[in-house]
């Protein structure tokens, strides 16, 4: 029997870029491009400007185990933006966090807030990151395919590593199953061929001006003959765009949590033939007084279309809440007793 895959691998070979092991503080590994190359960033200059704003995040459990990832200083007083999966052990209270700055100095840190659904989190360095520069926020909406970018982080614990590449594609959707059985959702992700490996998670993807356009979060790997993903970067990395990360980070700092709007119902896939794809989502529960009930939906209804998409997966219910704000209206088509119906559901904040 093959060994069970490490927790950062998942069956379709998309891996969150975290790593178990110790960070190597102070080691600088820079893979820079030729400054005279017109299609690339001046990576040496970008590294010098950005590295002081990047931290290696070390997570240590009482048993001695742990892991590391990366983060970026995004607000004064030591607030660091990273991935939820980097610090999930600390969220549950079973681990301690230390941030290691680019000059090798360290500080204990605490969790400010985390959102598994979008795989984003904010931690705070206890020393306030005094005198250290914040990473400028870039315009991820203005990013174009083919644009050069630079990734910074601590792959395999090697702090202050810099790699360069281009934006390979825009608008990717990457679901990432977590150990708990829940799924994190990378929405409208930036795909890049800049080398991203375990330990890069939470680190910044920046443009040629050194402004952060994304949060490096996942890689796709080539499965072996047994279908298990493994190895490092094959040039398929994914970063959460700052257009999504910015407001979530702000909400985590202000409230400690993110209140994603809800439809007020639960459902399960249904199908006439178990060997064929589902033909809709059967409503199994309705929140009394919630958006779905107010729109007229009932238990037993079969949703056939939601928000303009054919309904065949319960994750679509989560995505509706991620792509909209409370107060937005979502179109739902459904069957009741064989008759086609439609409704406009106004999303609400969770109670």
| Residues noted as catalytic | 85, 119, 201
Residues 6+ apart with CB under 8 A from 230: 5, 9, 221, 223, 224
Write out the DSSP string of 247-299. Answer: HHHHHHHHHSS----B-SEEEEEE-SSTTS---EEEEEEE-TTSHHHHTT--T
Dihedral of the CA atoms 226, 229, 233, 237 (nearest 10)? 130
- Give the CA angle between residues 66, 74, 82 to the nearest 5°: 30
120/240 Cα distance (integer angstroms): 9
The answer to whether 203 touches 154, Cβ cutoff 8 Å, is yes
């Amino acid at each position: 029997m093959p060994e069970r895959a490490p927790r950062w691998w998942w069956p379709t070979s998309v891996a969150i870029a975290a790593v178990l092991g110790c960070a190597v503080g102070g080691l600088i590994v820079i893979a820079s491009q030729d400054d005279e190359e017109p299609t690339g960033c001046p990576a040496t200059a970008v590294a010098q400007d950005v590295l002081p704003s990047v931290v290696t995040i070390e997570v240590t459990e009482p048993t001695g185990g742990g892991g590391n990832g990366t983060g970026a200083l995004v607000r004064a007083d030591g607030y660091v933006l990273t991935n939820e999966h980097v610090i999930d052990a600390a969220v549950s209270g079973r681990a301690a966090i230390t941030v290691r700055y680019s000059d090798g100095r360290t500080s204990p840190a605490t969790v400010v807030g985390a959102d598994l659904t979008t795989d984003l989190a904010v931690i705070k360095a206890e020393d306030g990151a005094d005198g250290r520069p914040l990473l400028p926020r870039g315009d991820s909406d203005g990013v174009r395919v083919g644009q050069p970018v630079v990734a910074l982080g601590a792959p395999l614990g090697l702090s202050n590593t810099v790699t360069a590449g281009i934006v390979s594609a825009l608008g990717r959707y990457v679901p990432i199953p977590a150990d708990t059985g829940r799924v994190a959702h990378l929405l409208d992700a930036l795909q890049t061929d800049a080398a991203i490996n375990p330990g890069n998670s939470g680190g910044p993807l920046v443009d040629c001006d050194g402004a952060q356009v994304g949060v490096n979060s996942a890689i796709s790997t080539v499965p072996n003959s047994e279908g298990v993903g493994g190895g490092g970067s094959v040039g398929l990395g994914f970063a959460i765009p700052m257009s999504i990360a910015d407001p979530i980070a702000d909400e985590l700092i202000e409230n400690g949590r993110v209140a994603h709007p809800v439809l007020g119902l639960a459902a399960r896939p249904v199908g006439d033939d178990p060997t064929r794809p589902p033909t809709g989502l059967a409503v199994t529960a309705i929140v009394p007084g919630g958006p779905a009930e107010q729109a007229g939906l009932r238990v037993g209804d079969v949703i056939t279309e939601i928000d303009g998409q054919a309904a065949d997966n319960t994750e679509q219910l989560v995505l509706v809440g991620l792509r909209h704000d409370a107060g937005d209206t979502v179109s739902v088509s459904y069957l009741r007793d064989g008759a086609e119906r439609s409704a406009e559901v106004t999303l609400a904040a969770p109670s």
